[in-house]
A and B are shown apart, each in its own frame.
Chain A
Amino acid sequence: MQTPAVWVICPAFNEAATIANVVADLRRRRYDVVVVDDGSVDGTRHIAAKIATAVITHPVNLGQGAALKTGIDYALSHDAEILVTFDADGQHRADDIPRLVRALTEQRADFALGSRRIGHSCNIPFVRRVFLFAATLFTVATTGLCLTDTHNGLRAFTRQGAVALSLRQNRMAHASEILADIANSGLRYLEVPVTVDYTPYSLAKGQRASDFVMILLDLFARKLHR
């Protein structure tokens, strides 16, 4: 079987410090990379434009969920067969992607979700660990999916899987929304162990525990309003 066309989607907001390494790493492994610059003001798009397959620039900052959706739309319109979401802050490893892709092609899943709980995390702080555990409990309770890590930015979808995602949550609640859509689609999903590197940089850019309140509000609003 010919290798499927893999497109890696990198949502980036003010990631000038890391984007070059992240994208170059992915390009070395011969993936098509679409960087979605979510209205950065630090020149992320110019750095990315030198090495990425495509750079899409949001005219205003819309949030990570919106950036993912834009990237997915773009990759689908360029005949991507497998779509990978990959954080631009350098916390993921490009080496993990082949395992996700294999989960889709060999085990015939439509969603392969990275998990740091069955994989490894380096330097994960205690507060972050508690927060992630609470988020996992919440998601398992609301979607019924059997997962060990619900807020991992490294995921892979088939075309069919990507089309099933609605991604209407622009901000951070999209992680829970993706899982809700996976549950509703009834398609096959798998968890794949991946490594997440916690650096001071990725921690500063990442979510704070207080964002959890806003995420709950967003999800509640979505239930009220369709």
Chain B
Amino acid sequence: MIAQAIFSLLLSSVLIYAWAEYRRSPVVALMSLVASLVGLYFVWIPSHTTRVAEFIGIGRGADLIMYLWICISLIVLLNLHLKLRSQHEVITALARAIALANADSATEGARLRNTEHETAKPAIPLARDASYKEPISMVRTPRPPPYSARRSYRSK
């Protein structure tokens, strides 16, 4: 009875985890939901594990449980991997913001030294010529926003 209580508690926490996880990653959440429900079932009716194990061709119920446990671990690993990924996306956004913020001040000097490569066109395109017409491919949908948020810290 003690073991059953402990395992029920653990598996219920997996249930809660699955519920909390659903918005972020439905696939992982559904997999952990199924795993914990199956686990709860076997904790309370252990004799069924042997019957199920025999039915699917595994000798003992304990082996079946061990296999299930391995599956659950793999799911958790996968989920950790996904979390790392999303964290890396945040780091990327951060590093990019730093790089872009530093870009203009760092290249201003280079542009001055750059005169032998300077051409008729200014290095940074200035306000567009009034005579310029957009190619038709560009006017199928409205123009994207002019990145004014970025421009704001450049002009200071």
The answer to whether A and B belong to the same complex is yes
Q: What residues of chain A have their CB less than 8 Å away from a CB belonging to chain B? A: 1-2, 4-5, 24, 27-28, 30, 32, 36, 49-60, 62, 66, 69-70, 73-74, 76-81, 104-105, 108-110, 158-160, 163, 168, 170, 187-188, 221, 224-225
CB-nearest residue of chain B to A36: B99
Contact yes or no, A163 B144, CB < 8 A: yes
Contact yes or no, B135 A108, CB < 8 A: yes
Which of B85, B91, B103, B143 sits near A54, CB closer than 8 Å?
A: B103
Contact A159-B144, Cβ < 8 Å, known A56-B103, A108-B135, A170-B92: yes
Contact A160-B128, Cβ < 8 Å, known A58-B96, A59-B99, A77-B150: no
Contact yes or no, A70 B96, CB < 8 A: yes
Contact yes or no, B125 A80, CB < 8 A: yes
Contact A58-B99, Cβ < 8 Å, known A108-B135, A160-B144, A163-B144: yes
B47 close to chain A: CB less than 8 A = no
Contact yes or no, A66 B137, CB < 8 A: no
**For B95, B132, B136, which residue has the most chain A Cβ atoms within 10 angstroms?**
B95
Can you identify 28 A-B contacts, CB atoms within 8 angstroms? A2-B129, A5-B121, A27-B117, A30-B121, A50-B113, A52-B107, A53-B107, A55-B110, A56-B103, A58-B95, A58-B99, A59-B95, A60-B95, A66-B92, A66-B95, A70-B100, A73-B96, A76-B144, A77-B147, A77-B150, A78-B125, A108-B136, A108-B137, A168-B89, A170-B88, A170-B92, A187-B137, A224-B28
Shortest CB-to-CB span from A104 to chain B, Å, is 7
Which of B88, B99, B111, B138 sits near A70, CB closer than 8 Å?
A: B99
Shortest CB-to-CB span from B150 to chain A, Å, is 5
A to B contact number (C-beta, < 8 Å)? 133
Which of B82, B109, B129, B137 sits near A109, CB closer than 8 Å?
A: B137
CB-nearest residue of chain A to B113: A50
The 3 A-B pairs with the shortest beta carbon distances in the complex, nearest first, are A108-B137, A77-B147, A5-B125
- Known contacts A32-B124, A66-B95; 18 additional CB pairs below 8 A are A1-B135, A2-B132, A28-B117, A53-B124, A54-B104, A54-B123, A56-B99, A57-B103, A58-B95, A62-B95, A62-B96, A76-B147, A77-B147, A108-B136, A158-B137, A160-B141, A221-B85, A224-B82
Shortest CB-to-CB span from A6 to chain B, Å, is 9
Shortest CB-to-CB span from A158 to chain B, Å, is 6
Contact yes or no, A224 B100, CB < 8 A: no
